[in-house]
Amino acid sequence: MPFYAIDGIVPVVHPSAYVHPTAVLIGDVIVGPNCYVGPGASLRGDFGRLVLEEGANIQDNCTMHGFPGTDTVIEVDGHVGHGAVLHGCRVGRGALVGMNSVVMDGAVVGERAMVAACAFVKAGQEVPARSLAAGIPAKILRELTEQEIAWKEAGTRDYQNLTLRSARSMVEVRPLTEMEDGRPRYSGGEAKPKKAGG
């Protein structure tokens, strides 16, 4: 698993977190309890400090980085979608940053706020708590509904469960040459064999 120290600073990963073997953690990176770091994620703590607080996730092909002396933080239950870039910013408690979004230096995504997919949150911008931001540059569109917040919280719980599933069962294998009969399908909880005709 690619963990690298730089200038004697070693990444920290809580034993209950899951970091995929293809993710890269360099230097001043702190991954808290029950966090998930996806395949191909790059967390470069070679200048600023990078922090994932409890229950946060940063998904595949995401990048975290920051300028010297800065902290880039994903707070408790923060959720960062595939391919997003976080640079010197703060993602608030229970907030979501959508796929392929960019959140720049000094920006703050407020508690339980959402940044839509492919948005650009410019340096120093604040996304208020429980708000939706979208566009290039991102604009505050409206307050989130209770249903949207519940949807996000359910998705974060799925990733917290994925942390447990990955730690328990993910192993490197050789692929099969053809699909087997009764191939299992994940349907929440454990993978289950597909029922005939189902």
Output the pLDDT for position 186: 87
CATH architecture, range 3-146 = 3 Solenoid (2.160)
The number of angstroms, rounded, from the C-alpha of 40 to the middle of its chain's C-alpha atoms is 12
Distances (CA, A) of 61 to 58, 156, 190, 195: 9, 18, 26, 34
* 43, 57 contact by CB (below 8 A): no
DSSP string, the chain: --EE-BTTB--EE-TT-EE-TT-EEEEEEEE-TT-EE-TT-EEEEEEEEEEE-TT-EE-TT-EEE--TT-EEEE-TT-EE-TT-EEES-EE-TT-EE-TT-EE-TT-EE-TT-EE-TT-EE-TT-EE-TTEEEETTTTEEEEEPPHHHHHHHHHHHHHHHHHHHHHHHH----PPPSSPPTT-EEE-SSSEEEPPTT-
Phi, psi angles (nearest 5°) of residue 158: -60, -40
- pTM score of the predicted model: 0.92
Residue-by-residue pLDDT tens, the chain, 198 positions:
689 999 999 999 999 999 999 999 999 999 999 999 999 999 999 999 999 999 999 999 999 999 999 999 999 999 999 999 999 999 999 999 999 999 999 999 999 999 999 999 999 999 999 999 999 999 999 999 999 999 999 999 999 999 999 999 999 999 999 999 999 988 876 544 444 443
